[in-house]
Chain A
């Protein structure tokens, strides 16, 4: 069964460093998303991406964050100058279409720990 794949599963980084989280969405999907879940809190929307551009972003997704689809299969989230409060589980998701009868499929997540 097709699945969304995320790497790495766990990343530890020093405060102030840049990290890139990687995702391979399901191959025929057109809409891509990043969410995060701080320990003990709700899953929060960060950004949606369609047709090689950001379609929507939350207030969390400031200039520190960027997304890219560098080739036909990968979807990345870059966090510049990481802060302690960026520590969270980051989930990538994809869907065939962005609305209506569209099921979103999530990856297993990348646990980011900023020290």
Chain B
């Protein structure tokens, strides 16, 4: 059974520092991995999708890596800003119907 874990559960950094968020999964047989942002009481905003055949994916200040064999993905956010404060979730797709299995998230606070 697939288990998705995110460490740390919470992170506080000063503005300008780079953020490193970790996601691990127990079953390496995944189709893809997706990173989301969730603001308090709000929906999920898709940030990046990494296919199982890819090693990394970039969008602006965001970069996500994937090491499928070791069951790990890392989301890097460069030069953090207070507006980056949110909870970041990773989710893996392990079946052909598109079901996503989520980690518990990392709550990020960027202080001015």
- Point out residues on A near B: beta carbons under 8 Å: 6, 31, 33, 35, 41-45, 48, 50, 55-56, 89, 91, 93, 95, 97-109, 111
Contact = CB atoms under 8 A, between A and B. Distances in A.
Nearest to B101: A45
A91 B44 contact: yes
Given A91-B43, A106-B43, A108-B43, A56 B91 contact: no
A105 B46 contact: yes
B100 interface: yes
A96 to B, nearest CB: 10
A103 B45 CA distance: 11
Contact of B46 (A97, A103, A108): A103
Contact of B43 (A42, A56, A101, A107): A107
A91 B36 CA distance: 13
A101 B46 contact: no
Given A42-B104, A43-B89, A43-B91, A104 B98 contact: yes
A55 B32 CA distance: 19
Contact of B99 (A48, A91, A100): A48
Given A55-B97, A98-B97, A106 B51 contact: no
Contact of A104 (B42, B46, B103, B104): B46
Contacts of B95: 56, 99
A77 to B, nearest CB: 15
A86 to B, nearest CB: 18
Contacts of A95: 98
Given A103-B34, A104-B46, A105-B46, A33 B98 contact: yes
B31 interface: yes
Nearest to B4: A42
16 contacts: A33-B99, A35-B100, A42-B104, A44-B102, A48-B98, A50-B97, A56-B95, A56-B97, A95-B98, A98-B96, A99-B95, A102-B32, A104-B34, A104-B98, A106-B44, A109-B43
